Structures are given as structure tokens and as C-alpha cells.
Amino acid sequence: MIFDVGKDLGPYVLFVFESRIIIIMASDITDTLNNLDSLLLQNERKIQKKLRHTGQPYISRSGKLIPAKKQSDLLCNCPQHCDEKVPNEARLKLFYQFYKMADQIKQNDFLMSHIEIRAVQRRSIEMKNPKKIQRRVSCKYKVPVLTSKDPPIQPGGSPEGVMVTEVCQKAFMNIYAITEKRVRLQREKLISQTYLVSAAGEQPQPSVVRMADYKQRFENFCATETISADIITAWLLRFIGPVTYQVLTYLCSPVAPGTKTFAQLKRLLETPYAPTRSVYEERSAFSSRNQRAGESYVAFSLFLCHLAATCSFGIFLDDALKS
């Protein structure tokens, strides 16, 4: 609010903003008003963010009124009878304490700590459909059955001594009044943290495996695990080794690799980023490469194939590798 302060202040204007008195030059009033508008907008967004994280009604950035979070009366209709496993009192307490955290990061940590990832070890013959990509993990969802005497929930797990029961995904979503997308994102984040290396086998090394094969292997892994397009970049940055990550950081400079799309990062990796050596230098490096202590024959052969790719051996490639 701007007050008319009279002639005694001369070329100055007095403001009252958030219980503070601000006096500025009248010539700077336009810039000051713009800055105040920006501060008000930031403050409003913080308020709406707080309302969203506490489950209260809020206004989205598009101006839409989002209603308050509300638990569903019926958890699910699955054969597990999740309604009977989690009493109404426990559901209400979970819902209240979940949004009392008032922090999306803490809430997501709590959700992830109650999702269990397991590898699919065996499949029946009738389930093996060559035309359909089979999942390699299964997920279980668990919730703590809180009583009036139990301590409040915390990020990272259930309170010690509290009974935890398994429920279906639908019941898991309805207890906390969260969307399927939010559950999926936490599930995929958990897979990327705990299952990536064991699921994909030994991580491919860019210095040994051709980059085209490396990218194809990663894309096949993402397709098998049904990794969504909105987090595939994060998976790539976790999947690659430190050398490739350094190269990507250099190629993406001055911005971070995480700001690029997966397609953009693929194109960057396809471009040559090292000076080309002469054929003589390449063949010298090939012939001087010996099998090292502890190096398997397969790894040694792969490395030789990598070196031979730039030696221009032509029809003599097999002879060079055998020798």
C-alpha cells in the first residue's frame, strides 16, 4: 500500500510492506513496484506449496482450485481384503500424520520405505510370451497399523515395534490419498537406487563396449523395466560410468546434464569428442596391449575389439585379433 506523505518528504515515497516501512526515491517507484510484485508472487507460491504438502485446498499455477485431500471410504475390492487389515482408526491416523510432515521429500521417503522390490526369479511356461516384454521385478506395498499408543510416523520407515501389513497398490494409494503417478515415481526411484546393477548385470564400461551397443543395452533395460519417459534421463545419469559422466558434463557445459532430454544426451554421445589419432598410433596401442593380471579373457578380447575398431585392419581384422 502506498501512502500520500505530503510535501515534507520531498522526492520520497513511503511504503508499508509486510509490516515494514520502506522509503524510496519517487523516481525508482516503477522498479520497486515490480520487485514487490515479484516478492508477492514468490510468497504466494510458497503458501500454495505449503497448502499442497499438508493436503489442504490450494490454487495451482494455472489458477485451478485443487480440493483438499480426502481418504476414500473404501480402500479396495481386492482379494487381500485390505479393508480388514487396516482398521479405520489406523487409516485416519496414518493420513493425518502423513500430511502433518508438510514436506514432499519427507513424505516420499516414507512412501519409498514401505515399497518392497523383489526380483522375478521364475516364470511359468504359459507366461512366457515372446511378443510381450516381461517385468523383472515385483512390488509389495506395506503400511504400519498404528494404534493410539504408537509414536508418529517418520521419513525412512515405521516406528519401532509397530505392526506392518501388506496391502495392494490401490489401498496404498487410498490410505494416503495420493495418485498412481506419485506411487510409480517412488517405485521407479527405488528401483534405480537398489536394483539397477543386479538387474542389468555388470555395468557396461564405455572404454570397452562400443557406444552404440552401450546405448542399445540401456534402452532395452528401460523398456524391460517400463521406465517412464519423464525420468529416463535420471536413470541414464545413474547408469553410466564416471568417465562417460565427465564427458557428458563437458559436452553439456555450461548447463548440467540433468537439464537435457534423453534424446539430446544420446546425440551428444554419438558425436566424436576426442581428437582422431593416426592409424599408426592406433595400431601401436593395439599391439602393445597385453592381458593384465586378474583380467578375464572375455574382458581382454572386448578391449582388443574396441582398439581394433580404429586400426583400419579391414579383411585382416581376424588375423590381427588371433595374433
Q: How confident is the model at residue 228 (pLDDT cuts 50, 70, 90)?
A: confident
Domain end: 232, 251, 270, which one? 270
- 73 located within any domain: no
Same-domain status, 55 and 158:
no
**pLDDT value at 21 more than 80:** no
Q: How confident is the model at residue 134 (pLDDT cuts 50, 70, 90)?
A: low
Same-domain status, 16 and 107:
no
- pTM, entire model: 0.51
- 72 located within any domain: no
Q: What number is the average pLDDT over the span 48-73?
A: 87
- 35 located within any domain: yes
Q: Which pLDDT value is given to residue 207?
A: 42
Specify the higher pLDDT residue, 49 or 322.
49
Q: How confident is the model at residue 7 (pLDDT cuts 50, 70, 90)?
A: very low
Q: Mean pLDDT, the chain, as a whole number?
A: 74
Q: Name the least confident of 35-44, 84-93, 143-152, 281-290.
A: 35-44
CB 137 within 8 A of CB 195: yes
Same-domain status, 8 and 103:
no
- 261 located within any domain: yes
Same-domain status, 189 and 208:
no
How many independent structural domains does the chain possess? 4
Same-domain status, 284 and 266:
no
**pLDDT value at 224 more than 50:** yes
Residue 94: count other Cβ atoms within 10 Å of its Cβ. 20
Same-domain status, 102 and 182:
yes
Specify the higher pLDDT residue, 233 or 279.
233
Q: Which pLDDT value is given to residue 98?
A: 92
Same-domain status, 134 and 188:
yes
- 179 located within any domain: yes
Specify the higher pLDDT residue, 173 or 233.
173
As to burial, measured by CB atoms within 10 angstroms (0-12 exposed, 13-18 middle, 19+ buried), residue 75 is buried
- 295 located within any domain: yes
**pLDDT value at 1 more than 60:** no
- CA-angle at 217, arms to 215 and 221, nearest 5°: 115
Same-domain status, 86 and 187:
yes
For 119, residues 6+ apart whose C-beta sits below 8 A from its C-beta are 136, 137, 138, 195, 198, 199
Q: How confident is the model at residue 165 (pLDDT cuts 50, 70, 90)?
A: very high
**Helix H or strand E segment including 86:** none
Q: Which pLDDT value is given to residue 94?
A: 92
Q: How confident is the model at residue 271 (pLDDT cuts 50, 70, 90)?
A: low
Same-domain status, 180 and 227:
no
The residue range of the domain holding 61 is 2-66
Same-domain status, 133 and 102:
yes
Domain end: 166, 194, 222, which one? 194
Same-domain status, 12 and 33:
yes
Same-domain status, 154 and 93:
yes
